[in-house]
C-alpha cells in the first residue's frame, strides 16, 4: 500500500482550454504539496474485474491521510479494461474524490 499505486496527476477536460491537470501528490483538503505528509492508510477493492469478461471495470479505493492538516479522504480509481485474460489492456482510469464515509465529492480527472 503506497502512494506509488496512485498516478501523480490526472487530467480533466476544461471546455475549450483543453486538459487541466490535478496533482494527486498534494493534499486535496489543505493543498499541502509535500507528498511525504500523505499516507495511504487503507486500500479496498470495491469491485473486482471479472477475469473472463471481454470488457471489465475494477474499482479500488485508497484512503489518504494528510499529516499536515490531519484530514482524510478517499480516492476512488475506476479502471476500465478491454479484452480478457492476457490480452487485457487498461483503456482509462476515472479518479473520483470521496469522503471517508463514502460520499462522492466529484470527478477529479482521468489518466
Using CB under 5 A as the binding rule, whether residue 25 contacts Zn ion is answered as: no
Return the residue of 27, 64, 74, 77 that touches Zn ion, per CB under 5 A. Answer: 27
Strands 89-98 and 72-82: antiparallel
Distance CA(37)–CA(72), nearest Å, equals 12
Q: What is the DSSP string of 70-82?
A: --EEEEEEEEEEE
Return the residue of 29, 39, 79, 88 that touches Zn ion, per CB under 5 A. Answer: 29
Using CB under 5 A as the binding rule, whether residue 41 contacts Zn ion is answered as: no
- Measured from the CB atom, is 32 or 49 closer to Zn ion? 32
Return the residue of 32, 40, 59, 100 that touches Zn ion, per CB under 5 A. Answer: 32
- Helix or strand (DSSP H, E) at 108: strand 104-110
Q: Which residues sit at the interface with Zn ion, rule CB under 5 A? A: 27, 29-30, 32, 66, 68-69
Amino acid at each position: 500500500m503506497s502512494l506509488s499505486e496512485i498516478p501523480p496527476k490526472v487530467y480533466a477536460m476544461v471546455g475549450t482550454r483543453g486538459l487541466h491537470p490535478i496533482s494527486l501528490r498534494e493534499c486535496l483538503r489543505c493543498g499541502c504539496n509535500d507528498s511525504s505528509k500523505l499516507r495511504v492508510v487503507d486500500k479496498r477493492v470495491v469491485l473486482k474485474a471479472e477475469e473472463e469478461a471481454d470488457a471489465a471495470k475494477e474499482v479500488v479505493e485508497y484512503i489518504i491521510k494528510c499529516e499536515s492538516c490531519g484530514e482524510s479522504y478517499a480516492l476512488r480509481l475506476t479502471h476500465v479494461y478491454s479484452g480478457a485474460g492476457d490480452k487485457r489492456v487498461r483503456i482509462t482510469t476515472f479518479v473520483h474524490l470521496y469522503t471517508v464515509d463514502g460520499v462522492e465529492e466529484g470527478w477529479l480527472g482521468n489518466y
